């Protein structure tokens, strides 16, 4: 137990001795002092003065809390570790030559401050060259192992660390440069060049050389900035690097003359100075070397330190790729080109006439210089606005003009996304639009265009949208009773500017039309045609009218379906929807009441008219769908049915002929006679009987097919010859009677074309009656003319 108590006591006593080493023991130092140098040893702030420093010039010792040494001296300290109590200042006066810091090894354990008092001649200034060390400015509260401090006329210019971009500082009048080195750290003996130069007006000038890499440097205005004082910064910027200036924080005093409020003044070689207030954007992406000055005003009275002039700003240097476009837009085209960054946070930078902007507008008649930095083509969008005006009818009446955009300034970066044409026609005129590349298709906002270009037609004032349209549709023409309209072509998926040189639409100015809007439509068989009232899905304007002229081919009819109709409540005359055929002028549908619309089957081309009421409560809107049907489909079915029946009959007759031929080959031949000269079709109707078959039966056993000819007897001479050849046989007992005239008329057509296609000839044979065969005198040879 006693051993443990003794051990604890020893430890506590040791800790006590370590905590107050300066109060016990002693130390002796021999200090060498150079000529022109003064060494001050002072008690550190906050330390107890119980430790003394003693000087023994002779035999008598003088002890005190601080000493000033100007020559070699032997010092005694009343404590063993005086470096924990005292600080050392090594001062050199009237410095106008180069500075070579020298170490005092006896004082190396102390916190040391090397001070060089600067005092140039009255007509000169001092240039302090820090090329070997390089300085970077820090805030007054920041620190680093070796801190340089610069003061001019008792004004702190700033605190600096080594290895920075400040290469030189110019000071006027008396100044002080100091270097703080922490105890135990060896002095970095870096050379500081000092030279005399011309007198400067500013309090101090800083020369900054920015490195050839992306960097950001902080700078601060002098603390407690005097009235009317000025500080200058000279920045050297590497080639292909561009600088941005950002003010991070600032305060400005209350000036005696408010117009003299402190500003940031920038100067580039060959340019006029640029002055910026503290509360606005500072220059950015500027190439080349430049100067920056800050000047305080004459203050209205004493200002507290927190309300004096203070500026903390940054200089950022970035290596960038640059593109430049300079030119003029033709004034006669009345063009405006808007160049816009798609993403404001991207590294792309746009500048118009040295002013950085995210959106730049270039107008006709103005000279422009557009610079772009680190901008990919897809990062920038172009919107072109062109005004086309025609005031006199003689200049534009009933003439179609193409809507194109001739992109002459090829150096402007970006992808062309939107073209806006503003058409201004003569007073009381209408605008007619057509597509030279094919008809247009109405595209509701909820649908996709599936094309590289989308057209939006609207009124200029008050900006009412007519609708959106795509290529390859069924709308042949759009007529608008308005002399000022806007056409916007939005390019959805392309980056070829040459497309804008091709006509997107053609326009013409015509006399006033009866309706507010007229659409000429030619539906197609492949896809339904969708139509909608202007401004869909919004309602039509009050008292406005719209008509669709729907043209159909003669063989088609259409099914008109009302997909979505919304009719408002009206105070007086109600809305009207009417459907009327064009050729027969038949009204198929007309309503002025709020009733459910029914689908219509329209047999021909028709008008579809709609009128909104004067004071609607709600929106009047409608969406329709037109589907074509082939009107000849039923007739074609009938024709095909008849053809099928005829084919069946012909086949049956052919089979019957084959069977009859086989049967006749077994019986004696018989001739057929037709004295009435009427053609008949044996295969279809058979041979007419003169009496009942059981009284005079006939069997036809032979037909000479070699006597069949391929044409008709067309002239009267041939007919007479035929009659003479058959006169002697007219009394034959087995001759067939003539066919009825109506049968002959049905079988023989009057058309020469059909006559040429008939098969005609003569049939020869022999006939016998049932029973015993007749004598040769009783037998007769007969022949007749057959036509099929």
pLDDT, tens only, 239-269: 999 999 999 999 999 998 888 999 999 999 9
Q: What is the pLDDT of residue 747?
A: 32
Contact, 24 vs 85, CB < 8 A?
Answer: no
Identify the domain boundary among 469, 487, 511. Answer: 511
Identify the domain boundary among 453, 485, 511. Answer: 511
Q: How many domains does the chain have?
A: 4
Which structure tokens are listed for 395? 């200049």
Spans of the chain, pLDDT less than 50: 1-24, 667, 669-788
Strand 506-511 vs strand 429-434: parallel, antiparallel, or unpaired? Answer: antiparallel
**CA-based torsion, 434, 440, 444, 445: positive or negative:** negative
With respect to residue 533, please indicate whether it lies within any of the assigned structural domains: yes
**Residue 429 shares a structural domain with residue 467:** yes
Owning domain of residue 133: 24-159+177-187
Which residues are 198's β-sheet partners?
124
**Residue 447 shares a structural domain with residue 480:** yes
Q: What is the pLDDT of residue 295?
A: 93
**Residue 50 shares a structural domain with residue 182:** yes
**Residue 479 shares a structural domain with residue 364:** yes
**Residue 183 shares a structural domain with residue 39:** yes
**Residue 364 shares a structural domain with residue 501:** yes
Residue in the structure block whose two tokens are 């689908």: 599
Which structure tokens are listed for 779? 């037998």
Contact, 572 vs 627, CB < 8 A?
Answer: no
**Residue 349 shares a structural domain with residue 496:** yes
Q: What is the pLDDT of residue 427?
A: 87
**Residue 303 shares a structural domain with residue 397:** no
**What's 583's domain CATH number?**
2.60.120.290
Q: What is the pLDDT of residue 242?
A: 93
DSSP assigned state of 773: P
**Residue 230 shares a structural domain with residue 378:** no
With respect to residue 758, please indicate whether it lies within any of the assigned structural domains: no
Q: In whole angstroms, what is the distance from residue 21 CA to residue 25 CA?
A: 8
- Give the residue ranges of DSSP H helices in 342-488: 393-396
Contact, 173 vs 127, CB < 8 A?
Answer: no
Query: What b/e readout covers 620-641, taking b as 16+ CB neighbours within 10 angstroms?
Result: bbbbbbbebeebeeeeeeeeee
Which structure tokens are listed for 733? 């007992």
Identify the domain boundary among 600, 632, 664. Answer: 632
Q: What is the pLDDT of residue 601?
A: 93
Q: In whole angstroms, what is the distance from residue 109 CA to residue 87 CA?
A: 10
**Residue 378 shares a structural domain with residue 395:** yes
Q: What is the pLDDT of residue 677?
A: 45
Q: What is the pLDDT of residue 19?
A: 38
Q: What is the pLDDT of residue 187?
A: 86
């Amino acid at each position: 137990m006693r051993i443990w108590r003794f051990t604890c006591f020893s430890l506590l006593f040791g800790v006590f001795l370590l905590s107050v080493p300066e109060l016990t023991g002693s130390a002796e130092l021999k200090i060498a002092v150079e000529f022109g140098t003064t060494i001050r040893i002072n008690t550190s702030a906050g330390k107890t003065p119980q430790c003394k420093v003693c000087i023994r010039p002779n035999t008598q010792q003088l002890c005190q809390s601080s000493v000033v040494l100007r020559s070699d001296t032997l010092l005694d300290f009343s404590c063993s570790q005086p470096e924990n109590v005292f600080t050392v200042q090594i001062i050199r006066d009237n410095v106008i030559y180069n500075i070579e810091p020298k170490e005092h090894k006896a004082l190396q354990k102390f916190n040391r401050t090397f001070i060089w008092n600067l005092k140039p001649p009255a007509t000169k200034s001092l240039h302090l060259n820090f090329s070997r060390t390089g300085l970077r400015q820090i805030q007054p509260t920041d620190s680093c192992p070796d801190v340089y401090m610069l003061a001019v006329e008792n004004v702190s210019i700033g605190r600096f660390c080594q290895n920075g971009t400040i290469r030189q500082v110019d000071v006027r009048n008396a100044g002080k440069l100091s270097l703080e080195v922490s105890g135990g750290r060896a002095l970095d003996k870096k050379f500081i060049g000092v030279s005399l130069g011309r007198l400067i007006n500013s309090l101090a000038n800083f020369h900054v050389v920015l490195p050839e890499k992306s960097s950001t440097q902080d700078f601060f205005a002098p603390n407690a900035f005097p009235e009317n004082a000025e500080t200058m910064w000279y920045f050297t910027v590497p080639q292909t690097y561009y600088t941005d200036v950002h003010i991070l924080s600032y305060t400005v005093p209350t000036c005696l003359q408010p117009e003299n409020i402190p500003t940031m003044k920038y100067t580039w070689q060959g340019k006029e100075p640029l002055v910026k207030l503290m509360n606005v954007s500072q220059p950015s992406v500027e190439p080349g070397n430049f100067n920056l000055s800050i000047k305080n005003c004459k203050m209205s009275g004493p200002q507290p330190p927190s309300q004096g002039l203070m500026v903390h700003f940054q200089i950022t240097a970035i290596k960038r790729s640059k593109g430049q476009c300079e030119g003029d837009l033709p004034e006669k085209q009345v063009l405006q080109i808007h160049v816009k960054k798609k993403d404001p946070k991207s590294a792309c930078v746009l500048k118009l006439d040295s002013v950085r902007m995210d959106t730049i507008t270039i107008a006709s008649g103005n000279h422009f210089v557009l610079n772009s930095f680190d901008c990919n083509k897809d990062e920038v969008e172009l919107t072109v606005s062109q005004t086309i005006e025609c005031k006199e009818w003689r200049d534009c009446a009933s003439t179609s003009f193409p809507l194109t955009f001739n992109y002459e300034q090829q150096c402007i970066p970006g992808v062309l996304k939107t073209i806006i044409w503003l058409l201004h026609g003569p007073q009381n005129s209408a605008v007619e639009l057509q597509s030279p590349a094919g008809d247009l298709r109405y595209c509701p906002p909820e649908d996709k265009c599936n094309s590289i270009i989308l057209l939006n037609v609207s009124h200029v004032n008050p900006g009412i949208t007519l609708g959106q349209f795509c290529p390859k549709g069924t709308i042949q023409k759009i007529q608008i009773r308005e002399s000022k309209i806007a056409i916007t072509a939005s390019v959805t998926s392309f980056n070829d500017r040459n497309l804008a040189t091709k006509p997107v639409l053609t326009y013409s100015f015509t006399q006033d039309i009866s309706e507010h809007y007229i659409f000429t439509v030619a539906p197609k068989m492949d896809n339904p045609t969708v139509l909608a009232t202007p401004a869909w899905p919004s309602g039509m304007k009050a008292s406005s009218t719209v008509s669709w002229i729907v043209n159909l081919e003669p063989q088609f009819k259409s099914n008109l379906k009302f997909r979505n109709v919304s009719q408002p409540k009206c105070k007086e005359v109600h809305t009207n929807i009417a459907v009327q055929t064009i050729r027969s002028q038949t009204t198929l549908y007309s309503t002025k009441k709020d009733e459910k619309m029914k689908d219509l089957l329209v047999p021909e081309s028709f008008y579809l008219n709609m009128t909104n009421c004067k004071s609607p409560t709600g929106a009047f809107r409608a969406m329709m769908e037109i589907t074509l049907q082939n009107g000849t489909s039923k007739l074609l079915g009938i024709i095909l049915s008849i053809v099928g029946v005829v084919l069946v009959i012909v086949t049956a007759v052919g089979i019957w002929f084959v069977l009859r031929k086989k049967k006749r080959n077994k019986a004696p031949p018989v001739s057929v006679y037709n004295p009435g000269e009427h053609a008949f079709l044996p295969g279809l109707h058979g041979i007419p009987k003169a009496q009942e078959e059981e009284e005079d039966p006939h069997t036809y056993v032979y037909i000479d097919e070699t006597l069949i000819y391929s044409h008709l007897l067309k002239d009267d001479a041939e007919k007479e010859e035929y009659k003479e050849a058959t006169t002697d046989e007219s009394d034959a007992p087995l001759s067939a009677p003539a066919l009825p005239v109506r049968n002959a008329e049905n079988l023989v057509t009057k058309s020469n074309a059909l006559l040429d296609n008939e098969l005609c000839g003569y049939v020869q044979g022999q006939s016998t009656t049932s029973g015993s065969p007749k004598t040769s005198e009783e037998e007769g040879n007969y022949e007749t003319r057959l036509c099929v």
